[in-house]
Amino acid sequence: MKVFVAGATGAIGRQLVPRLVDAGHEVHGMTRHASKQQLLRDMGAEPVVADALDADQVAQAVARAHPEVIVHELTAIGPMDLRHFDRAFATTNRLRTEGTDHLLSAGQAVGVERFVAQSFFAAYERTGGSVKSEEDSFGPDPAREMRETVAAIRHVEEAVLAATWTEGIVLRYGGFYGPGTSLGPGGEQTEAVRRRRFPLMGKGSGVWSFIHIADAAEATVAAVEHGRRGVYNIVDDEPAPIAEWLPVLARTLGAKQPMHLPRFVGRLLTGEVGDVMMTELRGASNAKAKRELGWTPSHSSWRDGFAGLAS
């Protein structure tokens, strides 16, 4: 198939493009930078230079490539600041709202058969069971500093699922780890754990779902090839509370064990977003993706996957 990848040069894009090419697809990879065209060629893709926030550029780029599938992996996440979460995600939020709309209308103009878009597992309601399926709702009360980010995630999901002229597919990825991610060699989160700047707050009861970046790419190939309209959690088999995974990660990285902070102190330092993520977050189940995409993560648990982060 002809596949147009927006975000082809990013952490997920660099894993996804070569896999699509190996599977026999003709890939058109988008970047803003003429200087990254060679990188795309080296991955086997046809480079397309366009700014996702410019509707005309996107329309022209998609019209020229005339793809059968569009994959939306656009993000631009700034340095993490839990107290100003929406600020760190401001450009990503534009890519998930305006960027999504530009790609959808460009895709509709050429009649794409599938539209696959990136979402994130962390917006599920924070009551009830600790592991959520795609049927579960988003929480009605996101932390104040992440309201715009959750609203942008809702936008991308609703717009893609409402696109009845195509097979609209939403992939709620777990927290990425592995090469090129913030939890990879030299990544922001890896370094925070290494330097003991990633504390355990309260009971560390926030449940996180992870996915190795290569497994995320494999699931995306499956969605491109035979996904059906709907939402899929793309996470590993073992959602786990921070109290369980953070000490293992610290040990793997050869770092000191994380500091323990009482919940109220942690909240003072990291705000409501930090508190929610460290103590209330819910994980996600991958049962539907396994069943319907025929996909299984090769790193079935972060326990094995994190071992690859040891230096």
Ligand X SMILES: NC(=O)c1ccc[n+]([C@@H]2O[C@H](COP(=O)([O-])OP(=O)(O)OC[C@H]3O[C@@H](n4cnc5c(N)ncnc54)[C@H](OP(=O)(O)O)[C@@H]3O)[C@@H](O)[C@H]2O)c1
75 binds ligand X (CB under 6 A): yes
**Residue with smaller CB distance to ligand X, 107 or 264:** 107
36 binds ligand X (CB under 6 A): yes
**Residue with smaller CB distance to ligand X, 88 or 112:** 88
220 binds ligand X (CB under 6 A): no
95 binds ligand X (CB under 6 A): yes
Show contacts with ligand X in window 142-171 (CB under 6 A): none
**Which listed range, 5-13, 60-68, 125-133, 266-274, lies at the site for ligand X (CB under 6 A)?**
5-13
Cβ burial, residue 11 (10 Å; 0-12/13-18/19+): buried
Cβ 77 to ligand X shortest distance, Å: 4
DSSP letters of 45-102?
A: PEEEE--TT-HHHHHHHHHHH--SEEEE------S--GGGHHHHTHHHHHIIIIIHHH
**Which listed range, 174-182, 195-203, 219-227, 247-255, lies at the site for ligand X (CB under 6 A)?**
174-182
What would the 3-class secondary structure string for 211-251 be?
A: EEHHHHHHHHHHHHHHCCCEEEEECCCCCEEHHHHHHHHHH
Cβ 12 to ligand X shortest distance, Å: 6
Q: Which two tokens stand for residue 37?
A: 């065209």
**Bridge-based pairing state of the strands 240-241 and 207-208:** antiparallel
3-state secondary structure of 31: strand
Alpha-carbon gap, residue 198 to 76, rounded angstroms = 22
Alpha-carbon gap, residue 163 to 173, rounded angstroms = 21
124 binds ligand X (CB under 6 A): no
**Which listed range, 133-141, 180-188, 262-270, 280-288, lies at the site for ligand X (CB under 6 A)?**
180-188
**Which listed range, 64-72, 74-82, 106-114, 244-252, lies at the site for ligand X (CB under 6 A)?**
74-82
Cβ 116 to ligand X shortest distance, Å: 14
Q: Which residue has the tokens 């323990």?
A: 260
Contact residues toward ligand X (CB under 6 A) are: 7-11, 13, 30-33, 36, 51-53, 74-77, 95, 120, 176, 180-183
